[in-house]
Chain A
Amino acid sequence: MATWKKLIVPIAITPILLLLAYGFKTNPRQVPSPLVGNSAPPFALSSFDGGTTGLEQLRGTAIVLNFWASWCFPACFEEAPALEAAWRAYKDRGVMVIGVDIQDREADAKAFIERFKLSFPNGPDPQGRMSIDYGVYGVPETFFINREGKIHYKHVGALTKQMLQGKIEEML
């Protein structure tokens, strides 16, 4: 009975401590996407300049699919020049950069595109269907879709030039 009494406190506390340690080890902001490694959900995007683009017509092309908003400061502002630079550097090597503007006003979105002189296709997601289909829970989020149409990697937060370069090279 005495041994049992001595053991009862450590037995009760150990699982709680283990659970806390596990909780501290994980990043509460990082939610792993079940889409990574699987086929990218199909989409058809009408861009602000009147064109349309979709996954089906881009088969065989590596895609950088970036979800952004003009109110997303500073992360979207920081990554916009890097995205434009990557587009210019890789557009002739079978890479497509696509911007999806979510939960935004059209005028603000167009002003953002103009401000950073973005030349890659950008379009709105007015009903949020595309962002929900991709499991987006904030901006900016970027999906790297390989030539086979599978999601190679998902990045949450602002992209850097090095990160973009590294992930695009992995897909080529």
Chain B
Amino acid sequence: MRGSMFQVGGSKLGRSGTWHPELGTRNSPTKGSRMRNTFLALLIVGVVGVWLRPAVGVGLEEQTQLLAAELRCPVCQNLSVGDSPSEMANQMRELVREKLKNGESPEQIRAYFVSRYGEWILLAPKRQGFNWVAWLLPFGAILGGVGVIGFVVRRSVSRSRAPGDAQLPPLDPRYASRLQAELKEWGQ
């Protein structure tokens, strides 16, 4: 029971690696598989952490900043309430902070601002109805672009292959004898 090996039901099993049919054991994990496992673990922790971040362990200031970053500053050009130094943005940040302090949820605060300013106040449109166009269009455009590139590449590859598929004309006897002579010269 050393390192990564541990005994289960009389057979030795590795924490990872492949099943070895002859030995009835798993191979001890290689450096590559260990790295892969570590990477996967870090990835899972990262994803879960990001997912849970707004729900737990976020301080009042951070939560205020996160919410303010989602709101459009009404008196600025394409700046969020979180980024704007304007007085109005400052007042809005204060209001967000106060509402959070009073126990209102981020959804309630978002809904409050939407009820006052309309959806315009949200920098990212809600994922509903016609707004899906704004969310999905970029991915559609990327997929379309990849499709066009794939189509062009496939066409050019098939065109370049086409002459190779055709039957080559018979070699001119003059060049054939010259080729033989030169090959002899090179000792082939």
Interface set of A (CB-CB < 8 Å, partner B): 31-35, 41, 103, 127-129, 131-138
Is B75 part of the contact surface with A, judged by Cβ < 8 Å? yes
Given A103-B87, A128-B87: A137 touches B92 (CB 8 Å cut-off)? no
B116 touches A31 (CB 8 A): no
Number of residues from B at the complex interface, CB < 8 A: 14
Q: B136-158: contact bitstring with A at CB < 8 Å (1 yes, 0 no)?
A: 00000000000000000000000
User: Which residue from B75, B87, B94 sits with its C-beta under 8 Å from A137?
Assistant: B75
Complex contacts, A132 vs chain B, CB 8 Å: 88, 91-92, 95, 116
Q: Can you list the 3 inter-chain pairs with the closest CB atoms, starting with the nearest?
A: A128-B91, A137-B74, A135-B116
Whether A128 and B92, one on each chain, are in contact in the complex, defined by CB atoms closer than 8 angstroms, is yes
Q: Looking across the interface, which residue of chain B has its beta carbon closest to that of A103? A: B87
Roughly how many angstroms separate A129 CA and B92 CA in the complex, as a whole number? 8
Residues in A whose Cβ lies below 8 Å from that of B116: 34-35, 41, 132-135
Chain A nearest CB from B127 CB (Å) reads 19
Query: Of B92, B115, B120, which is within 8 A of A31 by CB?
Result: B120
Would you give 7 A-B contacts (Cβ < 8 Å), ordered by A? A128-B87, A128-B91, A128-B92, A128-B95, A131-B88, A132-B95, A137-B74
> Which residues from chain B sit less than 8 Å from chain A, CB to CB?
74-75, 87-88, 91-92, 94-95, 114-118, 120
Decide: B114 and A34 in contact? CB cutoff 8 A. yes
Query: What's the Cα separation between A31 and B119 when bound, in Å?
Result: 10
- A163 to chain B minimum Cβ distance, whole angstroms, is 23
Bound Cα distance A33, B114 (Å):
10
Closest approach, in angstroms, between the C-beta of A145 and any C-beta of chain B? 15
CB-nearest residue of chain A to B86:
A103
Residues on the B chain within 8 Å of A129, using CB: 91, 95
How far is it, in angstroms, between the C-alpha of A33 and the C-alpha of B94 when the chains are bound? 22
Contacts of B75 in A (CB 8 A): 137-138
Residue from the set A41, A103, A131, A135 with the largest chain B CB neighbour count within 10 Å: A135
Shortest beta-carbon distance from B156 to chain A in Å:
17
Given the interface pairs A127-B94, A137-B75, the reply to whether A34 lies near B88 with Cβ below 8 Å is no
The residue on B at minimum CB distance from A134 is: B116
> A34 and B118: CB pair below 8 A?
yes
Q: Are B114 and A128 in contact (CB under 8 A)?
A: no
Do A34 and B115 touch across chains, with their CB atoms under 8 A apart?
A: yes
Contacts of A41 in B (CB 8 A): 116
The residues of B that contact A128 with a CB separation of less than 8 Å are 87-88, 91-92, 94-95
